[in-house]
Amino acid sequence: MHFGESVRWRVCCAVWGCLWGFAAWGIAVWGFAACLLAPCSLSAAEADAQREAVITDFLGQYCLQCHDAATADGEREFESFGLPITSTSQLITADEIIDQVTLRHMPPEDSEQPSDEQRLELLSALRDGITQARAKLKSSGGRTVMRRLSNREYENTLATLFGRRVDTLGLTADFPKENTSQHMDTIGASLVTSGFLLDQYLSAASRLVETRLGKPETEPQSWHFTKNFKQYEELAGAHRSVFKFEYLCLYEQPNTDTRQGGYGHIEDFLQGVPVSGLYDIEVHVQAMHRDTHYDPKLFRIDFSEPFQIAIVPGDATKGHIHYPQAIEPILATAVVPDAQPEWLSFRVWLEAGQTPRFIFPNGPYESRASVIAVNKRYKDEFKNPKTGVSRTTLLREGALPHLKIGEVKIHGPIQEPGGSVEEQSVFGAEGFQEDRALEQLFAFAQRAYRRPLDASDRTRIEGLYQKRLSEDATPRQAALDTLQMILCSPSFLYLSEITAEDETTLGPFDLASRLSYALWAAPPDAELFVAAETGHLTETDALKTQIARMLDDERSDEFINGFLDSWLNLREIGNLPPPRKAASEYYAENLPESMKQEARTFFRNLLDKNGPVTDLIDADYTFVDKKLAKLYRLPERDTLRLADGFQRVSLAENHQRGGVLGMAAVQTVSANGVDTSPVTRGVWILENILGITPPPPPDEVPAIDADVSGATTIRERLTKHSEDKACYVCHRNIDPLGYALETFDPIGRWRANYPKPKGKSAAAKVDPSGKLPSGETYEDFSSFKKVLLESRRDVFARNLIEKLLTYATGRHMEQTDRFEIDEIRSRVQSDHEGLRTMVTEVLTSEIFRSR
């Protein structure tokens, strides 16, 4: 994406009236922006009166001679306009005035002109009025809008109810893209339902039930493949000539541009397995030439690590078997031996029609490029050298690193003792029982609906079951059809509440569902359901006991992943990837996954140990794997192994990292993959750390374009852009927050200089210093974090509480929630700022327990 496009609305936020340093905006969000400027000494009533006077005086002096009720030039009448704004039409009028005054289109050139100070006062007053009006017009009345399950919650719920992963089916692959609100995917007002989505729910329920429970009884079969390992396109000729298709070889990882040798399929097994089930797969495989004498840089991998093999599903009817497909979760992984071929065994789940495909997760990056380089650089070693992408001579005489598979055995479906996991999860330990069919269906529906069934529920379930029997369906098929109906019911798809309408506090079953989806993104388990059934869950001590138990359960990883994806917007990592040539390690080492995992592991550690939330701003430690250790240039890059996973490392002597702002995940998601901008990153800090959201600019204002010639730095261009006073008062609040992060490139690598432009002898030096509008100065990234800790600690903590409440309740916080948020903040502060304390206080708050 072009720099100008990526930061357009952020660069020009001034025109929408964050023009007064966000002071007024801060009032609307409970005074949070006071951290940026001097505190406001006016009462709310006095501030409202002052804004009204500013607007009345300005319009009277400069506008009403043409736009009063009698004249209304251009069909614009401002005589009746004033604060408070109470309708959408008044909002539009306010926006139009802002546009015209900011762009200096009005008053007309030949009319008396206001001073810059008068323009700024008007724009600030109007923006305050707009902010307050939108808060009122969008208010939910402090109640959560009944919402459906998000796509991730939907899949998690089905996996819980059926007892096994369902991602191999790709049930939500064709669902409409999920709407988010301020990056949150749990907001009821955003989780809309369409006719198309309802059709998708019906299709998904049918596929799941019939594939997992309606499959025919199938005796296990065995397949043994030793030849015809055909590989497509440019691999075919070399493999026919050298291997006679007797070997299946993997030459590169699957996430490359060339995709030659990234997926190894079995040509004689394109039809896939006959039914969904567990299958044992044995692979006779060897890691070839990990000790190659070729320059390791040609392959862009770590040869000190053993080669790995993994299995993903493929479906020849869903796309090219040799290329990536929409549904390919990793089913199993293993280390491949070097010395000689060995049998590796896997037990994996395959859906009917899926065939196993083999990948090389830590293999060379872009095999085609490395083959060309080897042929050119080592041509003297070959008897009959070839140039270009020719592999024949290289495979016959060379030392090309790859995985070499000679045989593959498949056996299944494996019979599961006592019946399949799905059978027992849905129907109970004894499986489907015709004489107890309705009882079993009622029990499943209760778990699916997350509440006791009422008479109407039972009537509908029994009615459909009996109807299908009357249509000559077998009892089992009638039960399966009824299961599909249950999975399409609003009681399943929605977090619908059974609490009485005149009650403001959630009843125990509704509270159990809200809690389980907040922490597990899944329905209540048996223990939580019993706590609701007995009524104890509504007691604070009992609720705290359940919260502690659920946080200690590994299923709370769903909370960590979902919340960080929303709060830090981590789900957007990968949407704007860097150019492959500029950041090959981003792809070669699958850095996005490591980036996200650092944030998750860090947050999990704080949650488990009740560590202070201030560590999220700055800490003298973090958690890295070998890949991130290399990206961060930490000493541990020489000692960590891939098998070590994520380890805690000290940053006591390292001032380049620490806290979420020092994580590559944040630096990547706050850039556009190509360029960095203090404006983009400054707005990211405002929104995510300080809880202040600048509004977008109107379309009329042009964007700042990147200076591709390298004649100026971004700081110099922003300084020039901000010479206009209307721009300055906005950028003075945003830009200093982003300058400190300019020491990180678009994927989080530390830098002292910007990239050197073509034709230039030197690269511009990064200047990470700045001065905040409240007067504090910082010299670099490390001192910037100290400023945040010293003067914005309280603002950050309140913002984090608000984000947690928003995520957990499914609604945005409003002004009426301010006082309880203050109380939560006070209790957390008295307990050493602990994150676990904060989460517990949020989940036991009146806000969380209210409708």
Q: In this predicted model, what pLDDT tens digit does every residue of 41-95 receive, in sequence order?
A: 456 667 777 888 888 888 778 887 777 777 766 566 777 777 778 777 777 777 7
Q: Name the CATH code of domain 221-412 (choices 2.40.100.10, 3.40.50.2300, 3.40.50.300, 2.60.120.260).
A: 2.60.120.260
pLDDT at residue 239 is higher than 50: yes
Q: Write the burial class of residue 748 (CB in 10 Å: 0-12 exposed, 13-18 middle, 19+ buried).
A: buried
What integer pLDDT is reported at residue 140 of this predicted model?
55
pLDDT at residue 641 is higher than 80: yes
Report pLDDT digits (tens) over 114-142: 887 887 888 878 877 777 776 565 555 56
Share of the chain above pLDDT 70, in %: 87
What integer pLDDT is reported at residue 727 of this predicted model?
60
Residues in the chain: 851
Residues 190, 179: contact at Cβ < 8 Å? yes
Picking from 746, 213, 783, 832, the residue whose alpha carbon sits closest to that of residue 479 is 213
Residues 532, 512: contact at Cβ < 8 Å? yes
Report pLDDT digits (tens) over 447-505: 999 999 999 999 999 999 999 999 999 999 999 999 999 999 999 999 988 999 889 89
The rounded distance, in Å, linking the Cα atoms of 165 and 13 is 45
pLDDT at residue 8 is higher than 60: no
Report pLDDT digits (tens) over 831-842: 999 999 999 999
Neighbours of 370 (CB within 10 A): 24
What integer pLDDT is reported at residue 34 of this predicted model?
36
Share of the chain above pLDDT 90, in %: 65
Neighbours of 774 (CB within 10 A): 17
Report pLDDT digits (tens) over 344-381: 999 999 999 999 999 999 999 888 999 999 999 999 99
Taking CA 756 as the corner, what is the angle to CA 754 and CA 757, rounded to the nearest 5 degrees? 115
Q: How confident is the model at residue 279 (pLDDT cuts 50, 70, 90)?
A: very high
The rounded distance, in Å, linking the Cα atoms of 218 and 283 is 24
What integer pLDDT is reported at residue 18 of this predicted model?
34
> Domain residues of the chain, as ranges?
13-137, 153-213+426-496, 221-412, 579-669
Average pLDDT for residues 696-720, to the nearest whole number? Answer: 54
What integer pLDDT is reported at residue 137 of this predicted model?
56
Amino acid found at 615 = D
Q: Which of 241-255, 315-329, 540-554, 582-596 ranks highest by mean pLDDT? A: 540-554
The rounded distance, in Å, linking the Cα atoms of 660 and 671 is 15
The rounded distance, in Å, linking the Cα atoms of 660 and 568 is 9
Residues 836, 818: contact at Cβ < 8 Å? no
Picking from 626, 625, 656, the residue whose alpha carbon sits closest to that of residue 638 is 626
Which of 104-108, 665-669, 686-690, 845-849 is predicted with the least confidence, judged by mean pLDDT? Answer: 104-108
What integer pLDDT is reported at residue 764 of this predicted model?
85
Mark out the alpha helices in 317-454 (DSSP H runs): 367-377, 392-397, 421-427, 437-449
Instruction: Quote the mean pLDDT of the chain.
Output: 87
